[in-house]
Amino acid sequence: GAGVSQSPSNKVTEKGKDVELRCDPISGHTALYWYRQSLGQGLEFLIYFQGNSAPDKSGLPSDRFSAERTGGSVSTLTIQRTQQEDSAVYLCASSPDGEVNSPLHFGNGTRLTVT
Amino acid sequence: AQSVTQLDSQVPVFEEAPVELRCNYSSSVSVYLFWYVQYPNQGLQLLLKYLSGSTLVESINGFEAEFNKSQTSFHLRKPSVHISDTAEYFCAVSFISHMRFGAGTRLTVKP
Protein backbone atom coordinates (compact mmCIF):
# COMPACT_ATOMS: atom_id res chain seq x y z
CA GLY A 1 0.00 0.00 0.00
CA ALA A 2 0.91 3.65 -0.15
CA GLY A 3 3.39 4.94 2.38
CA VAL A 4 3.68 8.35 3.97
CA SER A 5 3.68 11.03 1.28
CA GLN A 6 5.24 14.46 1.68
CA SER A 7 5.14 17.44 -0.63
CA PRO A 8 6.95 19.26 -1.98
CA SER A 9 10.11 17.16 -1.97
CA ASN A 10 12.21 20.31 -2.27
CA LYS A 11 11.41 23.90 -1.42
CA VAL A 12 13.62 26.95 -1.85
CA THR A 13 12.34 30.16 -0.33
CA GLU A 14 13.60 33.61 0.48
CA LYS A 15 14.22 34.68 4.03
CA GLY A 16 11.09 36.21 5.51
CA LYS A 17 8.62 34.29 3.38
CA ASP A 18 6.08 31.80 4.76
CA VAL A 19 6.12 28.14 3.70
CA GLU A 20 3.69 25.25 4.02
CA LEU A 21 4.77 21.63 4.03
CA ARG A 22 2.26 18.84 3.54
CA CYS A 23 2.08 15.30 4.87
CA ASP A 24 -0.29 12.50 3.89
CA PRO A 25 0.01 9.69 6.46
CA ILE A 26 -0.68 6.03 5.81
CA SER A 27 -4.42 5.49 5.61
CA GLY A 28 -5.84 4.45 8.98
CA HIS A 29 -2.87 5.60 11.02
CA THR A 30 -4.10 7.69 13.91
CA ALA A 31 -0.78 9.13 15.01
CA LEU A 32 1.25 11.67 13.02
CA TYR A 33 4.62 13.19 13.86
CA TRP A 34 6.80 15.96 12.45
CA TYR A 35 10.57 15.88 12.88
CA ARG A 36 13.34 18.13 11.59
CA GLN A 37 16.64 16.67 10.37
CA SER A 38 19.58 19.01 10.29
CA LEU A 39 23.09 18.05 9.19
CA GLY A 40 24.89 16.36 12.06
CA GLN A 41 22.01 17.01 14.45
CA GLY A 42 19.92 13.90 14.09
CA LEU A 43 16.16 14.12 14.23
CA GLU A 44 14.55 16.83 16.31
CA PHE A 45 10.96 16.22 17.42
CA LEU A 46 8.59 19.04 16.51
CA ILE A 47 4.95 18.04 17.07
CA TYR A 48 2.74 14.98 17.53
CA PHE A 49 -0.94 14.41 16.73
CA GLN A 50 -2.94 11.47 18.07
CA GLY A 51 -6.55 11.07 17.04
CA ASN A 52 -8.73 13.88 18.35
CA SER A 53 -6.48 14.68 21.30
CA ALA A 54 -4.75 18.02 21.67
CA PRO A 55 -1.39 17.88 19.84
CA ASP A 56 1.90 17.71 21.71
CA LYS A 57 3.61 20.91 20.53
CA SER A 58 6.49 20.72 22.97
CA GLY A 59 9.14 20.44 20.24
CA LEU A 60 8.22 23.47 18.15
CA PRO A 61 11.30 25.75 18.25
CA SER A 62 9.47 29.08 18.08
CA ASP A 63 6.04 30.62 17.57
CA ARG A 64 6.86 30.96 13.87
CA PHE A 65 6.18 27.22 13.60
CA SER A 66 2.68 25.77 13.64
CA ALA A 67 0.96 22.65 12.39
CA GLU A 68 -2.53 21.39 11.93
CA ARG A 69 -4.13 18.12 11.04
CA THR A 70 -7.48 18.26 9.31
CA GLY A 71 -9.97 15.45 9.55
CA GLY A 72 -7.51 13.24 11.37
CA SER A 73 -5.53 12.68 8.18
CA VAL A 74 -3.51 15.23 6.20
CA SER A 75 -1.22 17.54 8.13
CA THR A 76 0.35 20.87 7.21
CA LEU A 77 3.44 22.32 8.88
CA THR A 78 3.66 26.08 8.45
CA ILE A 79 6.77 28.16 9.03
CA GLN A 80 6.21 31.91 9.06
CA ARG A 81 8.86 34.51 8.31
CA THR A 82 11.45 31.86 7.48
CA GLN A 83 15.03 32.28 8.66
CA GLN A 84 18.20 30.69 7.29
CA GLU A 85 18.47 28.47 10.36
CA ASP A 86 15.15 26.88 9.34
CA SER A 87 16.95 25.18 6.43
CA ALA A 88 16.68 21.44 7.05
CA VAL A 89 14.85 18.32 5.95
CA TYR A 90 11.39 18.14 7.48
CA LEU A 91 10.21 14.59 8.03
CA CYS A 92 6.71 13.36 8.65
CA ALA A 93 5.95 9.98 10.17
CA SER A 94 2.82 8.07 11.12
CA SER A 95 2.01 5.06 13.26
CA PRO A 96 -1.14 2.94 13.52
CA ASP A 97 -2.02 3.86 17.08
CA GLY A 98 0.56 6.21 18.61
CA GLU A 99 1.59 3.60 21.17
CA VAL A 100 5.16 3.93 22.41
CA ASN A 101 5.99 0.42 21.18
CA SER A 102 4.79 1.11 17.62
CA PRO A 103 7.47 1.82 15.01
CA LEU A 104 7.18 4.97 12.93
CA HIS A 105 6.70 4.98 9.17
CA PHE A 106 8.52 7.90 7.60
CA GLY A 107 8.00 9.86 4.43
CA ASN A 108 10.95 10.89 2.27
CA GLY A 109 10.91 14.40 3.67
CA THR A 110 10.81 17.96 2.37
CA ARG A 111 14.18 19.61 1.94
CA LEU A 112 13.74 23.29 2.81
CA THR A 113 16.38 25.81 1.80
CA VAL A 114 16.03 29.39 2.98
CA THR A 115 18.18 31.83 0.99
CA ALA B 1 15.39 13.62 31.20
CA GLN B 2 15.59 10.96 28.55
CA SER B 3 18.33 11.15 25.94
CA VAL B 4 20.00 9.07 23.26
CA THR B 5 23.71 9.22 22.47
CA GLN B 6 25.36 7.72 19.42
CA LEU B 7 29.03 7.76 20.21
CA ASP B 8 30.38 7.75 16.66
CA SER B 9 29.28 10.21 14.01
CA GLN B 10 31.14 8.37 11.23
CA VAL B 11 32.34 4.78 10.92
CA PRO B 12 34.38 3.83 7.85
CA VAL B 13 35.01 0.10 7.35
CA PHE B 14 36.14 -2.22 4.59
CA GLU B 15 33.78 -4.67 2.96
CA GLU B 16 33.41 -7.99 4.83
CA ALA B 17 34.76 -6.48 8.06
CA PRO B 18 32.69 -6.56 11.27
CA VAL B 19 31.13 -3.36 12.53
CA GLU B 20 29.60 -2.06 15.75
CA LEU B 21 27.58 1.15 15.97
CA ARG B 22 27.22 2.28 19.53
CA CYS B 23 24.11 3.66 21.21
CA ASN B 24 23.56 4.62 24.83
CA TYR B 25 20.45 6.05 26.37
CA SER B 26 19.38 7.54 29.66
CA SER B 27 15.93 7.09 31.11
CA SER B 28 14.33 6.74 34.50
CA VAL B 29 11.52 4.61 33.09
CA SER B 30 11.25 1.54 30.91
CA VAL B 31 11.85 2.24 27.26
CA TYR B 32 11.47 0.64 23.88
CA LEU B 33 14.50 0.73 21.59
CA PHE B 34 14.79 0.95 17.83
CA TRP B 35 17.36 1.23 15.08
CA TYR B 36 16.41 2.98 11.85
CA VAL B 37 18.43 3.12 8.63
CA GLN B 38 18.46 5.88 6.03
CA TYR B 39 19.95 4.89 2.68
CA PRO B 40 21.18 7.71 0.41
CA ASN B 41 18.31 9.83 -0.89
CA GLN B 42 15.71 7.74 0.90
CA GLY B 43 13.53 8.06 3.99
CA LEU B 44 14.14 6.35 7.31
CA GLN B 45 13.24 2.68 7.55
CA LEU B 46 12.90 0.50 10.62
CA LEU B 47 15.84 -1.89 10.91
CA LEU B 48 15.04 -3.66 14.18
CA LYS B 49 13.40 -3.09 17.55
CA TYR B 50 13.52 -4.27 21.14
CA LEU B 51 10.21 -4.25 22.97
CA SER B 52 10.54 -7.09 25.51
CA GLY B 53 11.71 -10.67 25.85
CA SER B 54 15.05 -11.76 24.40
CA THR B 55 17.60 -9.00 24.68
CA LEU B 56 19.15 -9.94 21.33
CA VAL B 57 17.16 -8.87 18.30
CA GLU B 58 17.95 -9.41 14.64
CA SER B 59 17.10 -7.85 11.31
CA ILE B 60 16.51 -9.64 8.03
CA ASN B 61 19.76 -8.34 6.51
CA GLY B 62 22.16 -9.67 9.14
CA PHE B 63 22.27 -6.85 11.67
CA GLU B 64 21.68 -7.55 15.35
CA ALA B 65 21.42 -5.44 18.48
CA GLU B 66 21.58 -6.34 22.13
CA PHE B 67 19.71 -4.54 24.86
CA ASN B 68 21.91 -4.18 27.93
CA LYS B 69 19.89 -2.70 30.76
CA SER B 70 22.76 -2.38 33.23
CA GLN B 71 24.85 -0.45 30.72
CA THR B 72 21.83 1.32 29.17
CA SER B 73 23.09 0.41 25.74
CA PHE B 74 21.65 -0.91 22.50
CA HIS B 75 24.64 -1.36 20.19
CA LEU B 76 24.13 -2.46 16.59
CA ARG B 77 26.45 -5.08 15.11
CA LYS B 78 27.04 -6.95 11.89
CA PRO B 79 29.76 -9.61 11.53
CA SER B 80 30.45 -8.89 7.84
CA VAL B 81 29.31 -5.73 6.06
CA HIS B 82 28.52 -5.18 2.38
CA ILE B 83 28.90 -2.12 0.20
CA SER B 84 25.10 -1.88 0.21
CA ASP B 85 25.11 -1.32 3.99
CA THR B 86 26.46 2.19 3.40
CA ALA B 87 23.85 4.43 5.03
CA GLU B 88 23.11 6.54 8.08
CA TYR B 89 21.91 4.65 11.13
CA PHE B 90 19.79 6.17 13.87
CA CYS B 91 19.20 4.77 17.33
CA ALA B 92 15.86 5.73 18.87
CA VAL B 93 14.20 5.46 22.25
CA SER B 94 10.45 5.59 22.62
CA PHE B 95 8.69 6.73 25.74
CA ILE B 96 5.67 8.80 26.76
CA SER B 97 4.42 10.53 23.63
CA HIS B 98 7.13 10.39 21.02
CA MET B 99 10.36 8.80 19.85
CA ARG B 100 13.68 10.45 20.59
CA PHE B 101 16.54 9.91 18.14
CA GLY B 102 20.29 9.98 18.37
CA ALA B 103 22.37 12.19 16.09
CA GLY B 104 23.05 9.32 13.71
CA THR B 105 26.11 7.34 12.63
CA ARG B 106 27.19 7.42 9.02
CA LEU B 107 28.48 3.98 8.05
CA THR B 108 30.63 3.96 4.94
CA VAL B 109 31.67 0.57 3.57
CA LYS B 110 34.69 0.67 1.28
CA PRO B 111 35.72 -2.01 -1.24
A1 pLDDT more than 70: no
Residues of chain B with Cβ-Cβ distance to A104 below 8 Å are 44, 46, 99
Asked if A48's CB is within 8 angstroms of B9's CB, the reply is no
pLDDT digits (tens, 9 = 90+) for A46-79: 999 998 889 999 999 999 999 999 887 999 999 9
Rounded to an integer, the average pLDDT of A15-20 is: 98
Question: Distance (Å) from the C-alpha of residue B25 to the closest C-alpha of chain A?
Answer: 15
**Surface of B (61-90) touching A: CB under 8 A:** 90
Q: In what helix (H) or strand (E) does residue A48 lie, and over which residues does it extend?
A: strand A42-50
Strands (E), chain B: 3-6, 10-14, 19-21, 23-26, 32-38, 44-50, 56-58, 64-68, 73-78, 87-95, 98-101, 105-110
- A48–chain B Cβ distance below 8 A for any pair: yes
Question: Distance (Å) from the C-alpha of residue B105 to the closest C-alpha of chain A?
Answer: 9
pLDDT digits (tens, 9 = 90+) for B4-46: 999 999 999 999 999 999 999 988 777 899 999 999 888 899 9
Rounded to an integer, the average pLDDT of A72-91 is: 96
Asked if A91's CB is within 8 angstroms of B103's CB, the reply is no
